[in-house]
Amino acid sequence: MPHLHRWLTAAALALAIPAAGQDKSAMDEIMKYRQMLEEGNPAELMELKGEELWTMPRGPKSTTLERCDLGLGPGKLDGAYAQLPRYFADTAKVQDAESRLVTCMVVLQGLTLEQASAGWYKPNSDIEALVTYVAAQSKGYKIDLQASHAKEAEMYAIGEEIFWRRSGPLDFSCATCHSLDDRRIRLQDLPNFQNPASAQSSMINWPAYRVSQSAVWTMERRLIDCIRQMRWPEPDFLSEAIVSLQVYLQRNANGGRMQGPGIKR
Amino acid sequence: MRTCILIAATFSAVAAPAFADEATRQRAEEVVRQSFSSATPQEWAERMQQDEAQALCSLYRNSPPPEVAEKIVSAQHRAMRYPDNGKLMGDWKEGEKLAAIGTGGHIGKLQPDPPGRRKGGNCYACHLIAPQEVAAGTIGPSLTAYGRLRGNSPETVKYTYEKIYNAQAYLACSLMPRFGHNGWLTPKEIADAVAFLLDPASPVNK
C-alpha cells in the first residue's frame, strides 16, 4: 500500500506537467523517484547505521545505547517513537527522539552534549541514523500522544501558539502554508495540520529520505529548515520551540499508522 | 506591543475570544526567545519581534473579529507608499522575472543566501499567473488573465499596486506577505509586478 501511494504521487506529479514547457528539474526529480521505488528506500541504509550505533560501545563509559529509555522502559523500542515527544521524569522535560537520544548518549555513554549532537545538520549524521533506527521500530504502530502529563499539555499549547505565530519580513507562520486543505507551493502538496487525515498522511512518513537533499531528514531537521525558509533566524537544535511544534503536529496526527522511514521530495 | 495586548484584551471581552490565555502566550514567547539563541539583536528586531498586525493576526488565528480587522486595514492603509516618480505601472518583463525568483533573505548558518542576493516576489509559489508556467502554487487565487478581465483603468492600477504593496490594507490577516510595507520589494519593483499583471502585452493577458 505505501508503495502504491508513492507510485500514485509520482504519477500525479508526472501528469501535472504537460509535454510542452517541461520543467527539467521537476522531471529529474520524478525520474529519481521512480528509480528509488525500484531500488528500495535509501533510508534503510541509515536504519542499519543507526542500529550499529545503538549496539556499539561508545564514549568514555564505553557503553551501548541498549539501555536507553525512550519512554517505554530501558531498551524498549517497539512503538516508542509513535508516542514521542513525551515527558521524562529524569530530565523533567518533554523530549523528542533527538533530545532523548542525546540525553542517553550523555548519561549512559558519558559524551558531552556537544559531542552527542555534533554534526546534526550534516547529511547522514549519527543522530539522524539513530533517530531513523528508532523510528523504524515503530513501523505499524499508531501515533499516540495522549499529552496527559501537565507538561505535555503545556507543550502542546505552546506548539500551537508558535504554529500560528506570524513574524519576519514575509509575515509567515507555519499556518500560512499548513492550515488549508489541498494547497500547493509550486507543485509541492502541503499538508494541513488542522485536518487530522492530512496531518497523519504527513507525520507517518517521518523521518524521511528526501530526494532533493539526497539525505534522510528527521522531523527536527525538517522543522528547522521550514523556519529558515520562513526567513526567520535558525532555531536551536533540540530547542523547546522545535519540541513543542512536534508535540502539536504529532498529536494532531494521532491515530495515523507509522509507515517507517519514508521518501519525500 | 503593550498597547496591542491591551487592545486585544479589550476586544476579546466583547468580540470573538482569543484562542489562548495570556499565560500560555507569554510562556510561548519565552520559549521562542530561548530557542533562537543564535539570532543577533538586529535579526531578532527585524524578524522575530512582531508588529501590531502580526501580533493580532497570530492572536486571532488569521480570523480577526470585524472591529479588529477594520483597525488593521486602516492602519495598513495609512502606511502606504508609492514610487517617487508616481508611476504605478512599470516594466512587465521585469515583473515577470520577479514573479519567478524565490531566493533572497535566508539567514543563519545552514544555507544562508550570499549577501546582496536578489530578493524575488516568488509569486508563482502561491499563484497561477502566466498560463505557460504550470509549476504554480495554489495558496492564493489564480491571476491568469488578470488584466484582460479587469482592464487597466487608473483605479485598477492603483488597487493592484496597493494590494501587492500591502495585502492587509484590503484584507486583514491575508496570508500574502506585505511586500512593500515590509521592505521586501521596492515600490519600483512592485510597479513592475503590476505591469506583469495588467499590461495587455504581458503573457498573463495573452
For A138-152, the pLDDT digits (tens) are: 999 999 999 999 999
The percentage of residues in chain A with a pLDDT greater than 70, rounded to a whole number, is: 85
Residue range B167-171: mean pLDDT, rounded: 98
With beta carbons less than 8 A apart as the criterion, state whether B134 and A21 touch.
yes
What's the pTM?
0.89
Quick check: A242 and B25 CB within 8 A? no
b (16+ CB within 10 A) / e for A91-128: eebbbbbbbbbbbbbbbbbebeeebbbeebbeeebbbb
Residue range A89-116: mean pLDDT, rounded: 98
Q: Which of A1-15, B42-56, B67-81, B176-190 has the lowest mean pLDDT?
A: A1-15
C-alpha cell at B206: 495573452
- So what's the pLDDT on residue B84? 96
The percentage of residues in chain B with a pLDDT greater than 70, rounded to a whole number, is: 91
| Residue A31 sits in the same domain as residue A125 | no
**DSSP β-ladder status, A93-95 and A86-88:** antiparallel
pLDDT for residue B202 is more than 50: yes
Q: A30 lies in a domain?
A: yes
Residue range B44-65: mean pLDDT, rounded: 97
Quick check: B47 and A177 CB within 8 A? no
* Amino acid, single-letter form, for residue A253: A
pLDDT for residue A91 is more than 60: yes
- So what's the pLDDT on residue A10? 43
Residues of B in contact with A187 (CB under 8 A): 135
A244 to A75, A149, A153, A157, B27: CA distances (angstroms)? 25, 14, 10, 8, 12
- So what's the pLDDT on residue A38? 59
* Residue ranges of domains in chain B, CATH in brackets: 2-74 (no CATH), 92-205 (1.10.760.10)
pLDDT for residue A177 is more than 80: yes
pLDDT for residue B16 is more than 50: no
Q: A141 lies in a domain?
A: no
| Residue A23 sits in the same domain as residue A98 | no
| Residue A215 sits in the same domain as residue A127 | no
pLDDT for residue A222 is more than 60: yes
- So what's the pLDDT on residue A41? 83
CB neighbours (10 Å) of residue B200?
Answer: 12
Q: A195 lies in a domain?
A: yes
| Residue A194 sits in the same domain as residue A131 | no
C-alpha cell at B13: 471581552
| Interface list for B 99-128 with A (CB within 8 A) | 105-111, 124-126
Residues of A in contact with B27 (CB under 8 A): 154, 158
Distance from CA of B62 to the nearest CA of A (A): 8
In angstroms, the CA B164 to CA B125 distance is 15
At A175, is the secondary structure helix, strand, or coil? helix
Q: A58 lies in a domain?
A: yes
CB neighbours (10 Å) of residue B34?
Answer: 13
Residue A174 a catalytic site member: no
Residue range A176-192: mean pLDDT, rounded: 96
| Residue A167 sits in the same domain as residue A248 | yes
Nearest residue in chain A measured CA to CA from B28: A158
A86 DSSP β-pair partners: A95
| Residue A193 sits in the same domain as residue A248 | yes
Site from B175, B176, B184 to mutate, A interface, most A CB atoms within 10 angstroms: B175
pLDDT digits (tens, 9 = 90+) for A190-215: 999 999 999 999 999 999 988 888 88
With beta carbons less than 8 A apart as the criterion, state whether A232 and A112 touch.
no
| Residue A240 sits in the same domain as residue A186 | yes
Site from B24, B31, B34 to mutate, A interface, most A CB atoms within 10 angstroms: B31
Residues of B in contact with A186 (CB under 8 A): 124-125, 135-137
Distance from CA of B113 to the nearest CA of A (A): 10
pLDDT digits (tens, 9 = 90+) for A24-73: 565 576 667 666 665 678 889 999 999 999 999 999 999 999 999 999 99
End of a domain among A82, A114, A136? A136
Residues of B in contact with A233 (CB under 8 A): 36, 38-39, 43-44, 47-48, 107-108
End of a domain among A136, A170, A202? A136
**DSSP β-ladder status, A208-210 and A262-264:** parallel
In angstroms, the CA A232 to CA B36 distance is 9
Quick check: A158 and B24 CB within 8 A? yes
b (16+ CB within 10 A) / e for B110-130: eeeeeeeeebbbbbbbbbbbb
Per-residue pLDDT band for B27 (boundaries 50, 70, 90) equals very high
Residue range of the domain that includes A242: 150-264
Choose among B19, B20, B110: nearest Cβ to A234: B110
Site from B32, B127, B133 to mutate, A interface, most A CB atoms within 10 angstroms: B32
Task: Report phi then psi at A17, rounded to 5.
Answer: -110, 105
| Residue A124 sits in the same domain as residue A227 | no
Nearest residue in chain B measured CA to CA from A26: B135
Q: What string of H, E and C letters represents the secondary structure of A81-139?
A: HHHCCEEECCCCEEECHHHHHHHHHHHCCCCCHHHHHCCCCCCCCHHHHHHHHHHHCCC
Q: What is the total count of domains within chain A?
A: 3
Per-residue pLDDT band for A87 (boundaries 50, 70, 90) equals very high
A223 class by beta-carbon count within 10 Å (0-12 exposed, 13-18 middle, 19+ buried): buried
At A14, is the secondary structure helix, strand, or coil? helix
Residues near A238 by Cβ (< 8 Å), separated by ≥ 6? Answer: A98, A99, A102, A117, A220
Quick check: B182 and A171 CB within 8 A? yes
Choose among B54, B124, B183: nearest Cβ to A171: B54
Choose among A161, A183, A241: nearest Cβ to B35: A241
Strand (E) or helix (H) holding A216 = strand A215-217
Residue range B36-48: mean pLDDT, rounded: 97
Q: A145 lies in a domain?
A: no
| Residue A108 sits in the same domain as residue A189 | no
Nearest residue in chain B measured CA to CA from A157: B24
Q: Is B42 on the interface with A (CB under 8 A)?
A: no
| Residue A55 sits in the same domain as residue A7 | no
Q: A163 lies in a domain?
A: yes
Site from B134, B142, B178, B186 to mutate, A interface, most A CB atoms within 10 angstroms: B134
At A226, is the secondary structure helix, strand, or coil? helix
pLDDT for residue A2 is more than 90: no
| Residue A52 sits in the same domain as residue A109 | yes
| Residue A229 sits in the same domain as residue A127 | no
Choose among B35, B105, B137: nearest Cβ to A184: B137
**Average pLDDT of every residue of chain B:** 92
End of a domain among A72, A107, A136? A136
Rg of chain A over Cα atoms, rounded to whole angstroms, equals 18
The CATH number for A235's domain is 1.10.760.10
Nearest C-alpha neighbor of B39 from the set A236, A243, A219 = A236
Strand (E) or helix (H) holding A12 = helix A2-16
* Beta-carbon contacts below 8 Å between A and B: 148
Residue range B135-139: mean pLDDT, rounded: 96
Nearest residue in chain A measured CA to CA from B22: A161
In angstroms, the CA A118 to CA B131 distance is 47
pLDDT digits (tens, 9 = 90+) for A13-32: 443 444 334 455 655 766 67
